[in-house]
Amino acid sequence: MTRLERSLIDAAARLVPLSYRQTFVGDLLEQYERRRRSAGPTAARIALVAEIIHSAPSLTRWRLTRGVVMNTHARSQDPFHMGRLTPGATAGRALGLFKSFYLRALAVFLLVHFPLRMVGHFVRSDEAIAAALQSVALQALLANGLLLISWTLVEGTLLATLVQRRRGHEIGIPAALKESLRRFPTFLAARTLFLLAVAAGSVVLIVPGILATCLLMLHGWLIFDRGLGALAALKESARIVKSRLRKTLGLSLPVAGMTLVWVALGVLFVAQTLRFTAPLMPIFKIAPFTMTLMETGFVLFTILTGILYANYSPNGSSLEESPV
């Protein structure tokens, strides 16, 4: 079997939930080998490609609409749990999870964040809206409010997916978005308080803002995993991290550096994209798309908080075990 055929099988297998993946690949390999013996390698390759192409649409539809699929081995294979936390190992694990999760995250950003970002960009730049509101500050507040709502929905959808993965389930994007909407009021309140605390600390000095970020960074996982309220999640996050504050700072620095590099490269990409596409396409159409690609780098921060939560919390497990 050639490298191309193996790559096709691996790509198709990614559409299958983990608990069924080994069986799916085994069936494909068995069919390939049977056809190779009876009709030769060329016919076997053609049949393999045809089978994968034929199966891809139904597998994609099933994966997205299935909701939750149980993986019985995931409990003992929690990808967020680590035996020993070091800055290098934590950064490596975060980057590995980011790579394996990026396509799902990008899909969520494009489906949820991109439309609202376009609306926010339009609200911020449209002269008619500015004239109707009669206040530049109100116009900016409205645009930023839309972005906050968008970010809350996006991160909630990602958290719902990752929490279920830690419990041993695979969850489709529609089911994850539904869970994000269910938790939205609580998560929005907690995220608003979190941002206000970080902003207040940063206004006084930069260091208090960094400390506030570290102390309160686990609130999203506590809301989606344990079902805590906004204030309870922030207080519990501070309690968990307080005794490990110095360690949390050390573990967070490499991931923060990777995120900043991603964003910096994204800024260059946005600048170059606007430079070459502005004469061909209105800026309000291309800017939200390129900014969305840049912002996917912040998924690294969500994954980092998951690693810290899995290793800091008692037993690294949730209180709510029922699937979405």
Tokens (6 digits) for 131: 């004239």
Residues found in the chain: 324
Q: Residue 152 corresponds to which tokens in the numbers above?
A: 């809350």
Structure tokens at 149: 């709502």
Look at the alpha carbons of 36, 39, 40, 42 in this order and tell me if their dihedral is positive or negative: negative
Residue 84, φ and ψ in degrees, nearest 5: -145, 125
Dihedral sign for Cα 69, 315, 225, 94, please: negative
User: Do 114 and 49 lie in a common domain?
Assistant: no
Answer whether residue 50 is part of any domain: yes
Q: In this predicted structure, what is the pLDDT of residue 266?
A: 67
pLDDT of residue 150: 85
**Same domain flag for 41 and 147:** no
For 287, phi and psi rounded to 5 degrees?
-60, -45
Inside any domain, residue 116 = yes
In a shared domain, residues 229 and 309:
yes
In this structure, are 297 and 248 located in the same domain? yes
Do residues 294 and 230 share a domain? yes
Q: Which residue has the tokens 């500050």?
A: 137
Q: At what angle do helices 219-226 and 230-242 cross, to 10 degrees?
A: 120
Tokens for 22? 């080994």
DSSP 80: T
Domain annotation covers residue 72: no
Query: What SS3 state is found at 68?
Result: strand
Query: Among 321, 264, 323, which residue's Cα sits nearest to residue 295?
Result: 264
Whether 107 and 41 share a structural domain? no
pLDDT, one tens digit for every residue, the chain (324 residues): 677 777 777 777 777 766 667 777 788 788 888 888 888 888 888 887 787 777 777 776 666 555 444 444 444 467 888 877 888 888 888 888 888 888 888 888 878 877 777 777 676 666 666 666 666 667 777 777 888 888 889 889 999 999 888 877 778 888 899 999 999 999 999 999 998 998 888 887 788 888 888 999 999 999 999 999 999 999 999 999 998 888 898 888 888 888 778 777 766 766 666 665 555 444 444 455 556 666 777 888 889 899 999 888 754 444 344 333
Of 65, 83, 101, which marks where a domain is finished?
65
Residue 71 lies in a domain: no
Domain that includes residue 38, residue range:
3-65
104 in the same domain as 61: no
As a whole number of angstroms, the distance between CA 307 and CA 191 comes to: 19
Same domain, 60 and 95: no
Q: So what's the pLDDT on residue 125?
A: 65
Clarify whether residues 31 and 162 are in a common domain: no
Is position 73 within any domain? no
CB within 8 A of 174, min separation 6: which ones?
A: 64, 65, 67
Identify the pLDDT of residue 283: 46
Same domain, 60 and 103: no
Residue 80 burial (CB < 10 Å; 0-12/13-18/19+)? buried
* Helix/strand/coil for 146: helix
Q: How many CB atoms lie within 10 A of CB 170?
A: 22
Establish if 70 belongs to a structural domain: no
Mark whether 270 and 224 lie in a shared domain: yes
Question: What is the pLDDT at residue 75?
Answer: 42
Same domain membership, residue 230 and residue 152: yes
| Per-residue pLDDT at 219 | 93
The answer for residues whose C-beta is within 8 angstroms of residue 172's C-beta and 6 or more apart is 63, 64, 65, 66, 67
**Residues 6 or more apart in contact with residue 218 via CB below 8 angstroms:** 233, 236, 237, 240, 241, 305, 308, 309, 312
For 285: left if phi > 0, alpha if psi spans -120 to 50, otherwise beta; the answer is: alpha
Domain count, the chain: 2
Find out whether 204 and 167 touch, Cβ atoms under 8 Å: no
CB 150 within 8 A of CB 119: no
